[in-house]
Amino acid sequence: MKKRMVSVLLCLAMAAGMMAGCSGGGDSKGSSDKEGTTGGKESVVIWDYFETDAQKNMMQDMIDGFNESQDKYEASHVYVPFADYEKQLTLGMASGELPDLVILDGCGMASFIEMDLFGDVSAADIKWDEYMEGPMSSTMADGKHYGIPFATNCTALFYNKDIFDAAKMDYPDENTTWEDFREMAKALTKDGVTGFGNAATGTDEGTFQCLQWLYTAGGDYQNIKGGMDAYKLMQEMVAEGSWSKDCVNWTQSDANNNFVAGNLAMQQNGPWQIPGIEKDAPELNYGVTVLPKKDADSGQATSILGGENMGAVKQDNMDGAIAFMEYYDQTDVMIECMKQYGSFPPKTEAAQDSYWTDDPIQKAFIQQLDTSIPRGPSASWPAYSDAIQTGFQEVMTSAKTPEKASEDTQAAVDKVKASEK
């Protein structure tokens, strides 16, 4: 099964078109190339898709710190565009031109573990038990470790305090239920403002934001019918006008732009939006809290984990990649990197640093992380995601009733599940 999957994926990737090299400059060394770079040091090549100045600076500072911390290895990194990232990894498996270490979207790691891209690093000197359970599970298979979580995040509920104050309404908090949330959104939908909006575009970005409603309703990515109440909530709120009907076309940036512009009283989004808000709308009076729970008797609502993992490419000599992961595993190194990166450390101790816990907005995301889970993890996640997000699109556009959408989405998910056997 594994060999067949690799063959199919390789063929698909090649059919999509061979690329002359990775964008962003620099040639990556093949996984077998271990020649020294300077002073006889062994090369450790890392691939990433980081595009913002803050992310690039973080990556270079981390590499500089590693290189200065020891005299055996010399790390460097190569930028590969996010849109081409998984294709380049697949092509690299065919050509043998791979880096030593890969930083990739956490939900994509399971499929590459199954394709045998990553090597077992369970024997590394890593403090495994200090990592949050959700992020750590996305780096594992069959009880083995194939890397470590690099950064973690989730979505939570942003709210405009001025809009709530003008309506003389209490702010949402950890006790807010779906019923409360719906009443808030309905009451605040007036004078050109919509009560709530999120990113529900028909891609995995939309799945990332919409899936938590399914889990909070009692379902999961393989049990769609168990979360049908989420379909009902979405469809009814869109029909009322209190959940923006435009969300089916919105990315997370679109949702945030509408929130910053005052077009939304509440939005679902992540901590990566905070630097932009501080820069572009420093006067915006807003707060963040956990997402609404289903009812008063329910525990805290689920959110879906985002973020990246580090994986060591499988080869005879993985010592350099393991050394880099062991360097990043240091709590103080992780904290400084994540401050620059604009995300949260995946280790519990690191996430309790005062930089995050003393800030009420950052603290809300830390609280939400307690009940956040990864997408999948499954080697077939892209197929699951397509099926799930199609269902959300059908519900939010009223193309199907919640019952019919639930039935059809369950059938599509069951088909993916059957293909895994």
CATH number at residue 325: 3.40.190.10
- Grade residue 24 by pLDDT with cuts at 50, 70 and 90: very low
In this predicted structure, what is the pLDDT of residue 269?
Answer: 95
Cis peptide before 377 (omega within 30 of 0): yes
Q: For residue range 215-270, list pLDDT tens digits in order.
A: 999 999 999 999 999 999 999 999 999 999 999 999 998 999 999 999 999 999 99
Mark whether 404 and 256 lie in a shared domain. Answer: yes
Mark whether 288 and 335 lie in a shared domain. Answer: no
Residue by residue, DSSP assigns 184-221 as HHHHH-BTTBEEEE----SSHHHHHHHHHHHHHTT-BT
In this predicted structure, what is the pLDDT of residue 272?
Answer: 83
Q: Domain range holding 352?
A: 2-153+306-373
Residue 16: name the closest of 108, 83, 110 by CA: 83
Q: For residue range 100-110, list pLDDT tens digits in order.
A: 999 998 888 98
322 touches 121 (CB < 8 A): yes
In this predicted structure, what is the pLDDT of residue 278?
Answer: 86
Mark whether 81 and 163 lie in a shared domain. Answer: no
Token digits for 46? 């890392």
In this predicted structure, what is the pLDDT of residue 6?
Answer: 41
Higher pLDDT, 231 or 276: 231
Mark whether 100 and 15 lie in a shared domain. Answer: yes
pLDDT above 90 (res 395): yes
Mark whether 191 and 282 lie in a shared domain. Answer: yes
Mark whether 200 and 267 lie in a shared domain. Answer: yes
User: What rounded mean pLDDT belongs to the chain?
Assistant: 89
Mark whether 327 and 406 lie in a shared domain. Answer: no
Mark whether 205 and 322 lie in a shared domain. Answer: no
> Going along 57-134, which residue ranges are E strands?
73-79, 101-105
Residue 183: name the closest of 196, 192, 193 by CA: 196
Question: Domain count of the chain?
Answer: 2
In this predicted structure, what is the pLDDT of residue 27?
Answer: 37
In this predicted structure, what is the pLDDT of residue 18?
Answer: 31
Q: Please give the biggest Cα pair distance in the chain.
A: 68
Averaged pLDDT for residues 37-55: 85
In this predicted structure, what is the pLDDT of residue 84?
Answer: 86
Higher pLDDT, 134 or 144: 144
Residue by residue, DSSP assigns 119-160 as PP-TTSS--GGGB-HHHHHTTEETTEE-EEEEEEE--EEEEE
231 touches 391 (CB < 8 A): yes
Read off the pTM.
0.79
In this predicted structure, what is the pLDDT of residue 195?
Answer: 98
Mark whether 228 and 95 lie in a shared domain. Answer: no
SS3 content of the chain, % helix, strand, coil (to 5): 50, 15, 35
Mark whether 221 and 330 lie in a shared domain. Answer: no
Mark whether 246 and 329 lie in a shared domain. Answer: no
pLDDT above 50 (res 16): no
Lowest mean pLDDT among 12-26, 155-169, 369-383: 12-26
Separation between Cα atoms, residue 147 and residue 145, nearest integer Å: 6
pLDDT above 50 (res 112): yes
Mark whether 147 and 177 lie in a shared domain. Answer: no
350 touches 335 (CB < 8 A): yes
Lowest mean pLDDT among 36-40, 268-272, 386-390: 36-40
In this predicted structure, what is the pLDDT of residue 39?
Answer: 66
* Strand bridging mode 306-312 / 147-153: antiparallel
